Amino acid sequence: MNLVVFKFNNLGDNVVFVPAIQALRQRCPGLRITLLTTPNEAGLYGGKWAPDEVLVSGKLEFEKAYRRPWALVRWLLAVRRRHAGLCMVPFDQGNTAHLLARLSGAETRVGASMAFARIPGSLTEIVALPECARPAMWNWNMARAVARSLGDATGWPEEPPPPDLRHLLAPQPRPRGARKRVVVHAGAGGPLNQWQAGNFAAVAESLSREFEVVWIAHGKNSGTAPAGVTHAPVNSVAELADWISASDLFLGNNSGPMHLANALGCPGVVVTGPSARGWDPFWHRERWSVLRHPNLSCSPCERLQEKLAGCANLAAPMACMTHWTPERVAQECRLRLAG
């Protein structure tokens, strides 16, 4: 049986999806999996439980393929050539993915029905948002539904394990007696999830008096490393994973690198505001400090089923993020490092 999976999205969304693919490869040995995803994130899916085939495209390029008929036909032919009996369309996929699934020829099409997906009949089985509203669990339930359609869901665990990302890692040994290392990633996928890079710089500078601090230059709004802090340009997921796996603490926004750090088991401190609670670190929760405003009635304002347009708090815009000072965040980091 052939399965075609659509997963065009950013780093964090893919990190929490990897366990679903790995479980299907491990538990359904007769299943041939073709994964469609983005180039930077494709590396997450390597290793022992990799899909049989990975096709890549830029996220926006794929999503807007319906505006370019020749591109849409090219994707349709690619999907049809896989002779899929199954398709999986996760909750974050748009109309292009739903349309291709509908036209794929697959008899079973598992996924989530979202308001922005307007392709009638694209899915034969709709998997509802779980009560916990966590994307990792939603992905896991979809994979379980695929396995169940094959009769291979017996003994399926209730929750997804952390993804096996050992194929990404080539960590360098650290000298005996080296100071604890903090890796800082100040970027975010959008401005609403961004604690200012200048704030991160102030924390990094403060921590550098006691610890080795590494400033990751990767992605949007990653800022500039302050004096006394190691500047580390990162050009791939593997390079990012190497730095994180060799560190004692991750500090950042609610972002893709944060989810990668969480999956790798690195302790962390995350400054979060509008992000839905479902995007809090899923694994190793006892190792993480999630800094969220304790009593702001509008926070969090993000919903998994809707795109966040802007801050609705007109009286105190972005109060959920400005609540946290560099001093408070540095204190949380020191507490984690002491533990």
DSSP 188-255: -SSGGG---HHHHHHHHHHHTTTSEEEEEE-STT---PPTTSEEEE--SHHHHHHHHHT-SEEEEESS
pLDDT at site 306? 67
Q: Note the pLDDT tens digit of each residue in 127-137.
A: 999 999 999 99
Q: Are 143 and 111 in contact (CB under 8 A)?
A: no
In this structure, the answer to whether residues 131 and 207 fall within a common structural domain is: no
Q: Name residues of the chain where pLDDT drops below 70.
A: 220, 305-306
Q: Based on the fold, state whether residues 206 and 84 are members of the same structural domain.
A: no
Q: What is the CATH number of the domain that holds 178?
A: 3.40.50.2000
State residue 305's pLDDT score: 65
Regarding whether 128 and 47 lie in a shared domain, the answer is yes
pLDDT digits (tens, 9 = 90+) for 276-331: 889 999 999 999 999 998 888 888 877 776 677 788 787 888 888 888 999 999 99
Identity (one letter) of the amino acid at 88? M
Amino acid 313: pLDDT? 82
Residue 221 shares a structural domain with residue 314: yes
Q: Which domain holds residue 115?
A: 2-166
* SS3 readout for 119-142: CCCCCCEECCCCCCCCHHHHHHHH
For residues 17 and 101, what is the distance between their CA atoms, to the nearest angstrom? 18
Indicate whether 153 and 45 sit together in one domain.
Answer: yes
Mean pLDDT of the chain: 92
Q: How many domains does the chain have?
A: 2
- As a whole number of angstroms, the distance between CA 270 and CA 255 comes to 9
From 166, 184, 215, give the residue that closes a domain. 166
Are residues 194 and 315 located together in one domain of the fold? yes
Rg of the chain in Å (alpha carbons): 21
Are 218 and 202 spatial neighbours (Cβ–Cβ below 8 Å)? no
